[in-house]
Amino acid sequence: MAQYDTQTLTQAVIDRLADCKDARFKQVMTSLVQHLHDFARDVDLSPQEWITAIQFLTDTGKACNDKRQEFILLSDTLGLSMLVVALEQARGAKGRKGATPATEATVQGPFYWAGAPERRLGEDIAEGVSGEPALYTGRVTDLEGQPLAGALLDVWSGDGEGVYDMQMADAGMRARGKLRTDEQGRYWFWSIRPTYYPVPTDGPVGRMLDRMGRHPNRPGHIHMMVSAPGHQPVTTHLFVANSPYLDSDAVFGVRDSLIVEYERHEPGTAPDGRKMNKPYHVAHYDFRLVPA
């Protein structure tokens, strides 16, 4: 009737896409089946290993909730998320040869929380989380360096000990905020200097990393989604220069162009006029957006 061996089965599965009306979906599923089967054949996957994988994927789904996305974490730690970012960047770079480089993207990660509060320029978004204060300052421009007024920065980070608000018992938003650039395309706000931290290790992905012999740490960074009318949004980080794990980010997200010096200052009047009674840092970065 319709019996297949370890080789002919793959084409039989692909042939079932004959009536698929979505050409792109057909292409993606054809490639997925081919690579999935090639993987199983390459390692001669056993039934015991297969059921272990089924249980792992099930556990990963069960670990997802409003505050946690374990499948994104899995994708991040296997380098898939960063590969998708890099593929997007490579597509965008075509036809822009010679143009000034745009701000590079990196992974969104599992801690984005839509609906962060709008903040005025210069406000402190830290909401009292632990950590050394830091003034973030810079501009949002187009690729020619022209300022983009009213550009939106959607910012989030962990605290000075590497813990995100989503991971705290108190469920409120902290160290998150939306800011809009002024007429000169400038932004500035206060938060803390983030430190390195482990991705969540108390779930299936943590157990996988442990078994892989890998550390779970990410270098210190602050997340930004930056957008402006008529331009492509970019989801990125600023990484803290000299942070541990810059050379072995657990999610492979580091870009040299995103590493920023956090200049340390003694107590006194900060560049924006704020009186600081303890040491603080200043991190400067200009975002450059690609036309839409």
Min dist CB 37 to a copy of itself, Å, is 6
Q: Which of 254, 260, 282, 283 binds a copy of itself (CB under 8 A)?
A: 254
In the bound state with a copy of itself, the residue whose beta carbon lies nearer, of 47 and 273, is 47
Rule CB under 8 A: say whether 248 interacts with a copy of itself. Answer: yes
Min dist CB 129 to a copy of itself, Å, is 26
Q: What whole-number distance in Å separates Cα of residue 259 and Cα of residue 236?
A: 11
Q: Which of 228, 246, 260, 270 binds a copy of itself (CB under 8 A)?
A: 246
Min dist CB 51 to a copy of itself, Å, is 9
From residue 143, give the alpha-carbon distance in Å to each of 60, 178, 227, 230, 285: 41, 23, 14, 12, 15
Q: Which of residues 153-172 bind a copy of itself (CB under 8 A)?
A: none
The two three-digit tokens of residue 1, written as one number: 């009737």
Min dist CB 225 to a copy of itself, Å, is 12
Any idea what DSSP says for residue 47? H
Q: What whole-number distance in Å separates Cα of residue 83 and Cα of residue 225?
A: 18
Rule CB under 8 A: say whether 95 interacts with a copy of itself. Answer: no
Min dist CB 95 to a copy of itself, Å, is 15
Rule CB under 8 A: say whether 81 interacts with a copy of itself. Answer: yes
Q: At residue 109, what are phi and psi to the nearest 5 degrees?
A: 75, 175
Q: What whole-number distance in Å separates Cα of residue 121 and Cα of residue 186?
A: 9
Q: Which of residues 202-241 bind a copy of itself (CB under 8 A)?
A: 211-214
In the bound state with a copy of itself, the residue whose beta carbon lies nearer, of 129 and 290, is 290
Residues 6+ apart with CB under 8 A from 9: 37
Rule CB under 8 A: say whether 71 interacts with a copy of itself. Answer: yes
Min dist CB 94 to a copy of itself, Å, is 11
Q: Which of 111, 252, 262, 287 binds a copy of itself (CB under 8 A)?
A: 252
Q: What whole-number distance in Å separates Cα of residue 177 and Cα of residue 153?
A: 8
Q: What whole-number distance in Å separates Cα of residue 192 and Cα of residue 8?
A: 58
Any idea what DSSP says for residue 246? T
Residues 6+ apart with CB under 8 A from 33: 10, 13, 14
In the bound state with a copy of itself, the residue whose beta carbon lies nearer, of 6 and 100, is 6
Q: Which of 69, 157, 217, 236 binds a copy of itself (CB under 8 A)?
A: 69
Answer positive or negative: Cα dihedral of 274, 244, 162, 116. positive
To the nearest 10 degrees (0 to 180), the angle between helices 8-15 and 23-43 is 160
**What torsion do the CA atoms of 263, 269, 274, 277 make, to the nearest 10 degrees?**
90
Rule CB under 8 A: say whether 66 interacts with a copy of itself. Answer: no
Rule CB under 8 A: say whether 78 interacts with a copy of itself. Answer: yes
Min dist CB 196 to a copy of itself, Å, is 13
Q: Which of 67, 180, 186, 255 binds a copy of itself (CB under 8 A)?
A: 255
Q: Which of residues 25-64 bind a copy of itself (CB under 8 A)?
A: 25-29, 31-33, 35-47, 49-50, 54, 57-62, 64
